[in-house]
Copies of this chain bind each other. A is one copy, B any other.
């Protein structure tokens, strides 16, 4: 009897489930793959010298001809940052809302590939048909405007992907998340809900972005005589708009500092997502034309990044702005995990300059807390819960929410990147396989050319530096023609350690004479012996373990 395999839907996260960042999920049905999001991750502390990480897209490259589109939920780096790299390998159209596309366009332009890339701006409520898939963009709220959830209609059922979202009943700009449409789609039956887990550990309901505006109002009222400097996330256009509105209300001019801040505000302004009341925006060069009590500076650096504008103002290396004792400085942000110490150092520096620093709670999250997640589940009523976005503990926290709502183990799918979650024609889900995934490190122009060996070397070099032993050998006689010469970097300051280096040289010389006497001509053996004798000596003398690199030159 001939069996006929009915087509299945495969949902394959290619990143984003092992860490914060690198969000990317493939949806595959027969000959078509569509991809939701294409993000980067910021490097971990031990990834020395690495600029960013992007997902390993071997699976997409191998199925290049199947890939029919990239659907982007919103314009944050962890959802769009890998696009310039991925699109060079897998060229398919990009679909996104207007502001999201504006930010993507800027990235593509920087890399000189804007013209080559097919892009289509999508409106909320609009549906894109791609082979067997229909993808509808649905309005949500988030800490950047124009965020969308995606309803992915497939032959075996609907997958609802929330993207990053929160429920904001009083957003600063635009509408509340389209709960009606989400409910309507839910009412017709949804197979799987892929829902943002970032705040799933947090009880309650994330406050509205507009509550921050009220705080700004209070702070401006209390600090009428002081210059106000506000550090926030560059991409939070609504936050910036609220600062502008408050500044205008209090008759202050606004200057913007920090490259990413200037870029995003520029894009948002051109596309109509941010509005400066007439003559409110001034150049940082013109700040000194106004009294301090009449200016506000919006700046990058809310994460304590050493090169960002606020840090440079704090440590006195900013070209245009230096901190004054009467400044009021507001961190309208929270420290992203891993940045706490840097933020704390900048705050301390600002305090030392005499400034008044306001740090706590002038910020709300852009992610749904537990009650919002429950609301979405109750509107969508999916057959399967598929928690996404976040570390494992966040996914587990959403699992607990799903359980509380009555889902059993069978209907909650906690995936790892690379897992193939297959929905059969009856809409039954099962992990049926695993595709290759991973992290590709980007360093300068190099994508993936820094691997574990190079990183391990960098860690070794960072720890104790390097000692280089150069020897010239006569290729005919096998005797030493010159050297050994010893050079070190990052090990000890040579002027303070002349004896050590002299002794080291002597020890290597002795070893070479020894080997010469033994008529050893095998150069790799000579290198190994030099390395061993020197490494032992250095450890004994210093208890350090620098990299030792013998180089033999034939003359």
Q: Establish whether residues A337 and B340, one from each chain, have CB atoms under 8 Å apart when the complex forms.
A: yes
Q: Which chain B residue has the least Cβ–Cβ distance from A544?
A: B444
CB neighbours (8 Å) of A454 from chain B are 465, 490-493
Of the candidate stretches A112-120, A175-183, A511-519, A545-553, the one touching chain B is A545-553
Of the candidate stretches A79-87, A147-155, A343-351, the one touching chain B is A343-351
Contact with B along A514-555 (1 / 0, CB 8 A): 000000000000000000000000000111100101010111
Given A551-B468, A554-B482: A396 and B351 within 8 A (CB)? yes
- Docked complex Cα distance between A459 and B465 (Å): 10
Q: Establish whether residues A391 and B446, one from each chain, have CB atoms under 8 Å apart when the complex forms.
A: no
A462 at the interface (CB under 8 A from B): yes
Q: Establish whether residues B351 and A341, one from each chain, have CB atoms under 8 Å apart when the complex forms.
A: no
Label chain A's interface by main secondary structure.
mixed
A338 at the interface (CB under 8 A from B): yes
Q: Establish whether residues B457 and A489, one from each chain, have CB atoms under 8 Å apart when the complex forms.
A: yes
Q: Establish whether residues A490 and B338, one from each chain, have CB atoms under 8 Å apart when the complex forms.
A: no
Q: Which of B348, B445, B489 contacts A391 (CB 8 A)?
A: B348
Q: Establish whether residues B482 and A549, one from each chain, have CB atoms under 8 Å apart when the complex forms.
A: no
A462 to chain B, nearest CB (A): 4
A343 to chain B, nearest CB (A): 9
Q: Which of B347, B472, B497, B541 contacts A555 (CB 8 A)?
A: B472
CB neighbours (8 Å) of A459 from chain B are 462
Q: Which chain B residue has the least Cβ–Cβ distance from A416?
A: B352
CB neighbours (8 Å) of A464 from chain B are 49, 443-444
Interface residues of A in 419-457 (CB under 8 A from B): 443-446, 449-451, 453-455, 457
Q: Establish whether residues B392 and A352, one from each chain, have CB atoms under 8 Å apart when the complex forms.
A: yes
- Docked complex Cα distance between A348 and B201 (Å): 13
Number of copies of this protein chain within its complex: 2
Q: Which chain B residue has the least Cβ–Cβ distance from A491?
A: B454
Contact with B along A496-522 (1 / 0, CB 8 A): 110000000000000000000000000
Q: Establish whether residues A351 and B392, one from each chain, have CB atoms under 8 Å apart when the complex forms.
A: yes
Q: Which of B347, B351, B465, B472 contacts A457 (CB 8 A)?
A: B465
A329 to chain B, nearest CB (A): 12
CB neighbours (8 Å) of A308 from chain B are none
Q: Which chain B residue has the least Cβ–Cβ distance from A397?
A: B351
Q: Which of B351, B446, B455 contacts A544 (CB 8 A)?
A: B446
A487 at the interface (CB under 8 A from B): yes
- Docked complex Cα distance between A543 and B496 (Å): 34
CB neighbours (8 Å) of A337 from chain B are 340-341, 344
Given A450-B493, A482-B553, A553-B470: A462 and B465 within 8 A (CB)? no
A458 at the interface (CB under 8 A from B): yes
A221 at the interface (CB under 8 A from B): no
A361 at the interface (CB under 8 A from B): no
CB neighbours (8 Å) of A444 from chain B are 464, 542-544
A184 to chain B, nearest CB (A): 36
CB neighbours (8 Å) of A490 from chain B are 48-49, 454-455, 457-458, 460-461
A485 at the interface (CB under 8 A from B): yes
A259 at the interface (CB under 8 A from B): no
A266 at the interface (CB under 8 A from B): no
CB neighbours (8 Å) of A88 from chain B are none
Q: Establish whether residues A465 and B472, one from each chain, have CB atoms under 8 Å apart when the complex forms.
A: no
A489 to chain B, nearest CB (A): 5
Q: Which chain B residue has the least Cβ–Cβ distance from A459?
A: B462
Q: Establish whether residues B555 and A481, one from each chain, have CB atoms under 8 Å apart when the complex forms.
A: yes
A483 at the interface (CB under 8 A from B): yes
A475 to chain B, nearest CB (A): 9
CB neighbours (8 Å) of A344 from chain B are 337, 391
A45 at the interface (CB under 8 A from B): yes
A326 to chain B, nearest CB (A): 15
A463 at the interface (CB under 8 A from B): yes
A393 at the interface (CB under 8 A from B): yes
- Docked complex Cα distance between A36 and B489 (Å): 38
CB neighbours (8 Å) of A487 from chain B are 549, 551
Residues of A within 8 A of B (CB): 45, 48-49, 337-338, 340-341, 344, 347-348, 351-352, 357, 391-393, 396, 443-446, 449-451, 453-455, 457-466, 468, 470, 472, 481-483, 485, 487, 489-493, 496-497, 541-544, 547, 549, 551, 553-555
CB-CB nearest 5 A-B residue pairs: A444-B543, A462-B462, A338-B341, A461-B461, A457-B490
28 pairs, CB–CB < 8 Å, chain A vs chain B:
A49-B465, A337-B340, A337-B341, A338-B340, A338-B341, A351-B392, A351-B393, A351-B396, A443-B464, A444-B543, A445-B543, A446-B492, A446-B544, A449-B497, A451-B493, A454-B465, A454-B491, A454-B492, A454-B493, A458-B461, A458-B465, A458-B490, A461-B461, A466-B489, A472-B472, A481-B555, A485-B551, A485-B553
Known: A48-B463, A351-B396, A482-B554. 9 other contacts (CB 8 A): A337-B340, A348-B391, A443-B464, A449-B493, A458-B462, A468-B549, A482-B553, A485-B551, A489-B547
